[in-house]
Chains A and B, each alone.
Chain A
């Protein structure tokens, strides 16, 4: 990692969430009512991945989903993204169906793998969503420059992804997710493959970016400190079938900004313990799946 400290403060169009576009959207960022997902396997095998999910994510709110491996937290995110469809219940994104929200491009998404296109430069990767939606060349270039600056990769716009470290690739993926200034960011363990040092640094950067853009975030993770550090609320899921076991409010009084100091604070540790108790607490818990 070069330029670890490259995150700059951009006070321009990246700071205000879509003011001109999508005026019709009202309602919370995500509203799930009794949502369930059953996967139909071969020969009639049915696997229930999610059951009775009731969750509301307000606009501008940062919600972490945490749970043991295979608890369906990624599935829930995929349902919100309309990459999979729920088999029961109702799921709305900004008051519309998840399908309509996807077509309207109301969310940006980042996956565990950066998922960059290796034959495109960093800049072309960031511009991909804009290009797909027929944004003009000049406007694309302007936007990608802003985003490169935002994620501290100004000098790497013309590089190809495989010339970048894992952390840098993940930053490109986040810049791509932010390309259309979405009001909702969906992130599926975006830092899962990074080493601890890079990971903590990226968390700080993400907190910073979210504070700037004011977007709501649904953040899937299996790391308790990561969930607590980033989120306003931590949703703890139980293993198979995934149900919401607890929702922990993480309000750090006085600490409006999430900085490295927060990690040392008492409030942080007590929230971490609270989430841990919920994860491991009840009888059917399976702590083996949790690597925190």
Chain B
């Protein structure tokens, strides 16, 4: 009860800020007579959004699916490789340089190259870009989490002659779980961003990014903005979904 109330209370200020911003925006566009190609008014964007709801929805499905594949593939690979790196020192040392490089590399910049490697009519390149974007934060956070095991727990598992895999299953992974979730949560919105931007560089028709460029190229700026709004909502949905799973899992295990 208290938590729900607290959450609602915490939501009020940002919501208020959002509404005030939209009102000021609307007011500015109307009173200063800003042209739509510079900045359309919120009502115009909203109108386009609801008018084109079916296409926004279908394009969101394409981008959303690519992002989802990215989250799953990237998270699974990130967690598995982090476990291996935590066990084998050489792999850890070898991978740290690669991961450091991946962190500064704008992964979406790989999209045009990947379109060349895979068929430009397939979604594979986009899904790969999303997977790579997810992999990095999940790997880094999981590896950090796997190193949080308290010495007393390590001693305990050794004293009880637990096998390596038993230790990973009973102590190491549960200790790392909050860190893994943080990684996946950060990565979930990154996946959407990566999937949207990858579409800017080519690939098959369909997807929010493709629609934004198409609408902008046709000078239909309110429609482009409507697709941007769709991308924002999609990223938010991904983030909140992971957050909900995280809350549920961590609450059910007591800490």
Instruction: Verify A111–B160 contact, CB threshold 8 A.
Output: no
Q: Which of the residues B152, B161, B174, B254 comes within 8 Å of A162, measured between beta carbons?
A: B254
- How far is it, in angstroms, between the C-alpha of A117 and the C-alpha of B255 when the chains are bound? 10
Pairwise interchain contact B170-A128, C-beta atoms closer than 8 A: yes
B255 surroundings in chain A (CB, below 8 A): 118-119, 160, 162
B171 sits at the interface (CB 8 A): yes
B196-209 CB mask vs A (1 if < 8 Å, else 0) is 00000000000000
Q: Which residues of A contact B158 (CB under 8 A)?
A: 82-83, 102
- Chain B window 147-170, contacts with chain A (Cβ cutoff 8 Å), 1 for yes, 0 for no: 000101101111111100010001
A147 to chain B, nearest CB (A): 15
Contacts of B89 in A (CB 8 A): none
A83-B158, A118-B254 known; A113 and B166 CB under 8 Å? no
Least CB distance from A127 to B in Å reads: 11
Chain A contact residues: over half helix, strand or loop, or mixed?
loop
Shortest CB distance A173–B (Å): 9
Are A102 and B253 within 8 A (Cβ)? no
Complex Cα–Cα for A146 and B159 (A): 23
Scoring B150, B155, B157, B159 by chain A CB atoms within 10 A of each residue's CB, the highest score goes to B159
B166 touches A115 (CB 8 A): no
CB of B152 to closest CB in A, whole Å: 4
A123 to chain B, nearest CB (A): 12
The answer, yes or no, to whether A103 is at the interface (CB within 8 Å) is yes
Kindly state the separation between the CA atoms of A132 and B155 in the bound complex, as whole angstroms. Answer: 14
- Evaluate contact between B254 and A121: CB separation under 8 angstroms: yes
Interface string of A187-226 (1 = CB under 8 A from B): 0000000000000000000000000000000000000000
**Total interface residues in chain B, CB < 8 Å:** 19
Select from chain B the residue with minimum beta-carbon distance to A108. B159
Nearest CB of chain A from residue B78's CB, rounded to whole Å: 22
Least distance between B248 CB and chain A CB atoms (Å)? 14
Q: Which residue of B150, B160, B174, B253 contacts A132 across the interface (Cβ within 8 Å)?
A: B160
Name the interface residues of B162-213: CB closer than 8 Å to any CB of A.
Answer: 162, 166, 170-171, 174, 177
What is the predominant secondary structure among interface residues of chain B facing chain A?
Answer: helix
Residues of chain B within 8 A of A117, CB atoms compared: 153, 170-171, 174
Q: Are B159 and A113 interface neighbours, CB within 8 A?
A: no
In the assembled complex, the Cα of A81 lies from the Cα of B161 at a distance in Å of 11
At the interface, yes or no: A109 with Cβ under 8 Å from chain B?
Answer: yes
Question: Given contacts A119-B253, A132-B170, A160-B254, is CB(A111)–CB(B152) below 8 Å?
Answer: yes
Query: Which residues on B sit within 8 Å (CB–CB) of A113?
Result: 150, 152
Interface status of A28 (Cβ within 8 A of chain B): no
Return A181 CB to nearest CB of chain B, in Å. 14
B174 proximity list for chain A (CB < 8 A) = 117, 119
> What B residues does A15 contact at CB under 8 A?
none
Tell whether, in the assembled complex, residue A132 and residue B162 are in contact, meaning their CB atoms are under 8 Å apart.
Answer: yes
B252: nearest chain-A partner, CB-CB? A119
Given contacts A118-B255, A119-B253, contact A103 B155 (CB under 8 A): no
Q: State whether the Cβ of A105 lies closer than 8 Å to any Cβ in chain B.
A: yes
Please name all residues of chain B whose beta carbon is closer than 8 Å to the beta carbon of A166 when the two chains form the complex. none
| Contact of A129 with B by CB under 8 A | yes
Within 8 Å by CB of A111, from B156, B161, B177, lies: B156
**Contact residues of B between 112 and 165, Cβ < 8 Å to A:** 150, 152-153, 155-162
**Which residues in chain A, 111-166, are within 8 Å of chain B measured between CB atoms?**
111, 113, 115, 117-121, 128-129, 131-133, 160, 162
Considering only residues 9-63 of chain B, those with a C-beta below 8 Å from chain A are none
- B161–A105 contact, CB under 8 A? yes
Name 12 extra pairs, CB < 8 A, besides A109-B155, A115-B153.
A83-B159, A102-B158, A105-B161, A115-B155, A117-B171, A118-B254, A119-B177, A128-B170, A133-B160, A160-B254, A162-B254, A162-B255
Closest 9 A/B residue pairs (Cβ)? A160-B254, A115-B152, A119-B253, A118-B255, A109-B159, A113-B152, A129-B160, A132-B162, A119-B174
9 sampled A-B residue pairs with Cβ under 8 A: A83-B158, A102-B159, A111-B156, A115-B156, A118-B254, A118-B255, A119-B177, A119-B254, A162-B254
List residues of chain A with CB under 8 Å of any chain B CB: 78, 81-83, 102-103, 105, 107, 109, 111, 113, 115, 117-121, 128-129, 131-133, 160, 162
